[in-house]
């Protein structure tokens, strides 16, 4: 990874986002940028057009129910292939209104990733061309990756927990 190019990228992001941005390195020395949700589209657009981050590796969500006011998180993994620099961009969202602007206008491959994130976490991507479930049944009235439900069906009587180390 080119440290100079990473520094240039962080400086560019800082010039776009005056307040609310944090930068850190994970335990594998991979850069993480945490942005306000309303700045994500602008920053990713600028990184793509001005700094060559043209590959969206992944887009997913996470649910942290104990983090009040930021219970949901959208995570973007973008990559500048010529410089071999990867950035992980995160945005926190409140459970009362978990929505963020879609990046399908920047990366067409984000279409299914955003639909999957909506399907499993209930995060709404504003301006998405087809925000519908992609893997689960259309009539499901919940989002299965949210940590709001018991891991197991407490009403089951046919299971002996001693086989599972409990």
Please classify residue 54 by burial: count the beta carbons closer than 10 Å to its beta carbon, then call 0-12 exposed, 13-18 middle and 19+ buried: middle
| CATH classification at residue 82 | 3.30.460.80
Asked whether residue 152 is assigned to any structural domain, the reply reads: no
Task: Give the pLDDT confidence score for residue 2 in this predicted structure.
Answer: 85
For residue 102, is it within any domain? yes
Residues 89 and 75: beta-carbon distance below 8 Å: yes
In a domain, 51, yes or no: yes
- Domain of 91 in residue numbering reads as 3-147
50 within a domain of the structure (yes/no): yes
pLDDT in the model for residue 7: 93
> Could you give the number of structural domains in the chain?
1
- β strands within 17-142, DSSP E: 22-25, 31-35, 55-63, 72-80, 85-93, 99-101, 124-126
Would you say residue 161 lies in a domain? no
Q: Confirm whether 162 is domain-assigned.
A: no
H-assigned helices in the chain: 3-16, 40-51, 110-121
Give the separation between CA 26 and CA 24, rounded to whole angstroms.
Answer: 7
According to the model, what pLDDT value does residue 19 have? 87
Note whether residue 164 is domain-resident: no
In a domain, 166, yes or no: no
The tens-digit pLDDT sequence of the chain (166 residues) is 689 999 999 999 999 997 889 999 999 999 999 999 999 999 999 999 999 999 999 999 999 999 999 999 999 999 999 999 999 999 999 999 999 999 999 999 999 999 999 999 999 999 999 999 999 899 888 898 998 876 666 777 777 666 665 5
pLDDT at 148: 83
pLDDT of residue 1: 62
């Amino acid at each position: 990874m080119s440290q100079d190019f990473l520094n240039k990228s962080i400086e560019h992001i800082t010039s776009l986002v005056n307040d609310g941005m944090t930068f850190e390195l994970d335990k594998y020395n991979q850069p993480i940028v945490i942005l306000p949700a309303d700045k994500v589209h602008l920053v990713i657009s600028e990184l793509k057009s001005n700094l060559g981050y043209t590959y969206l590796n992944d887009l997913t969500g996470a649910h942290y129910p104990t983090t009040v006011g930021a219970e949901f998180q959208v995570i973007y993994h973008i990559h500048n292939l010529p410089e071999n620099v990867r950035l992980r961009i995160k945005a926190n969202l409140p459970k009362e209104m978990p929505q963020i602007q879609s990046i399908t206008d920047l990366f067409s491959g984000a279409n299914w990733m955003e639909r999957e994130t909506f399907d499993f976490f209930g995060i709404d991507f504003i301006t998405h061309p087809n925000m519908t479930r992609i893997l689960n049944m259309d009539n499901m009235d919940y989002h299965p990756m949210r940590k709001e439900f018991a891991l197991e069906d407490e009403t089951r009587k046919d299971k002996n927990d001693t086989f599972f180390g409990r």
